[in-house]
């Protein structure tokens, strides 16, 4: 992990049903790298995670509510998965507002597993290429997005970057891509695609 001191990450989740490792692993690694990570949910208190969408998992403190958090100071929006979490979050007007705010201001969004459901709901997958949990492939395609079966995929089209992964097994690549994205902001930008030959 690179030094992420000074970087601020906003994690948007519901209060129940987040896939445990998709929340706790990025939290631990990104905070250990020096990033300030804020967990925002509809209600104050705790996030009740699940393991495999079924077994009770760890409880994670909520730092701010989705309604009250000011997104303007954050460098990246992180959307963990978990079926119950993602299904509830895509209908949350404050979560929708936050996702649109990051995309419209050209700030990156990172989403794993069922997390892209929020992006489907807000129309942000149109024209983007991404991956996700296999069961929402059709939703992504029906929303105008292109789907790839890769452990991590970075799509910079439409003026904002989307980083996606498929499931908890991809977390090393997912967190690594977030780390690289935030670290790159401090360095001169490099072309994402090969430049056309003269």
Is this model's pTM higher than 0.75 or not?
yes
Asked about 155 being catalytic, the answer comes back as: no
Catalytic residue chosen out of the listed positions 90, 107, 114, 128? 114
- Averaged pLDDT for residues 27-54: 98
Whether 189 shows a pLDDT value over 50: the answer reads no
Per residue in 167-182, pLDDT (tens digit) is 999 999 999 999 999 9
Out of 25, 78, 110, 113, which one is annotated catalytic? 113
Report the mean per-residue pLDDT for the chain: 94
pLDDT digits 0-9 by tens, 44-90: 999 999 999 999 999 999 999 999 999 999 999 999 999 999 999 99
Is 114 known to be catalytic?
Answer: yes
Using alpha carbons only, give the angle 161, 100, 64 rounded to the nearest 5 degrees.
Answer: 100
State mean pLDDT over 12-35: 98
Q: Give the pLDDT band of residue 103 (cuts 50, 70, 90).
A: very high
Parallel, antiparallel or unpaired: strands 146-147 and 46-51: unpaired
Query: What is the C-alpha R_g of the chain?
Result: 16
Nearest 10 degrees: Cα torsion 105, 9, 46, 51: 100
Structure confidence at residue 98 as a pLDDT band (50, 70, 90): very high
Q: What is the pLDDT of residue 184?
A: 87
């Amino acid at each position: 992990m690179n030094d992420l001191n000074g970087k601020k990450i906003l994690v948007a989740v519901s209060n129940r049903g987040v896939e445990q490792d998709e929340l706790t692993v990025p939290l631990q690694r990104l905070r250990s790298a020096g990033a300030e990570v804020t967990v925002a949910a509809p209600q104050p208190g705790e996030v009740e995670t699940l393991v495999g969408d079924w077994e009770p998992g760890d409880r994670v403190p909520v730092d701010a509510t989705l309604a009250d958090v000011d997104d303007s100071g954050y460098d990246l929006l992180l959307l963990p998965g978990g079926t119950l979490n993602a299904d509830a979050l895509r209908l949350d007007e404050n979560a929708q507002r936050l996702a649109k705010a990051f995309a419209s201001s050209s700030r990156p969004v990172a989403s794993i597993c069922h997390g892209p459901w929020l992006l489907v709901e807000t129309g942000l997958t149109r024209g983007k290429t991404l991956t996700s949990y296999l069961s929402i492939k059709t939703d992504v395609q029906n929303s105008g997005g292109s789907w790839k079966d890769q452990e991590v995929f970075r799509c910079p089209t439409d003026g904002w970057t989307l980083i996606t992964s498929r499931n908890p097994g991809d977390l090393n690549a997912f967190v690594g891509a977030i780390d690289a994205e935030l670290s790159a902001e401090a360095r001169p930008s490099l072309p994402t695609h090969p430049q056309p030959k003269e």
